[in-house]
């Protein structure tokens, strides 16, 4: 995969300037929205390990890398839309939970779907280390869980119709007016 491609998360930045450094562990998310975007990109790439690793400790027991990989690979993740970010009290209370409401659009079995969720994030000590940086515990943002607000099938897609990725301004797929069979359906 070329790192010069537009990022999967729809930020309009190149992948190597957006989510790639997070997924490859070169940097860590500074805010919950960054983590949300990188998790979407990891789903689009089929990187279940990163998705698993960015779950909060309390949530990892109910997950498996294999299940995450299976779900990410059975879907063609085409667009992410951020609706709202609740990061009030971020500076005053770093341990407070933060929320990001988003819609993820994906295609599975020829059906366009929308998953709208209000995701909950928290700062915690990474599983692999408990280091101190400048005398302070190193904390990272982690995904706890989310309230699913909507999970709908939006449309059945025929192979000869315009690919649905053309309808999303945040899609990472190169839009050239291609039919579904020549674009996301191949």
Q: How many angstroms separate the CA atoms of 38 and 50, rounded?
A: 9
pLDDT of residue 135: 47
Confidence of residue 52 (pLDDT cuts 50, 70, 90): very high
CB-based contact 71:4 (threshold 8 Å): no
In which order are the strands placed within the sheet that holds 111-124?
A: 76-86, 98-108, 111-124, 140-156
CATH number corresponding to 15-125+139-157:
3.10.450.50
Q: Supply the pLDDT for residue 173.
A: 62
Entry pTM: 0.85
């Amino acid at each position: 995969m070329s790192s010069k491609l537009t990022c999967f998360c729809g930020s309009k930045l190149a992948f190597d300037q957006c989510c790639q450094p997070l997924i490859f562990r070169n940097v860590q998310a500074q805010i919950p929205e960054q983590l949300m975007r990188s998790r979407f990109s990891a789903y689009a790439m089929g990187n279940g390990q990163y998705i698993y690793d960015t779950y909060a400790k309390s949530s990892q027991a109910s997950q498996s890398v294999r299940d995450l990989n299976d779900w990410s690979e059975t879907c063609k993740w085409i667009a992410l839309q951020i609706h709202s970010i609740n990061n009030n009290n971020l500076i005053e209370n770093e341990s407070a939970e933060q929320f990001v409401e988003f819609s993820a659009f994906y295609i599975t079995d020829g059906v366009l779907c929308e998953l709208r969720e209000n995701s909950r994030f928290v700062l915690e000590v990474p599983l692999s280390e408990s280091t101190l940086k400048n005398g302070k515990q190193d904390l990272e943002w982690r995904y706890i869980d989310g309230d699913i607000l909507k999970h709908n099938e939006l449309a059945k897609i025929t192979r000869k119709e315009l690919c649905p990725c053309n309808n999303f301004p945040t899609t990472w797929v190169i839009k050239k007016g291609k039919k579904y069979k020549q674009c996301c359906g191949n």
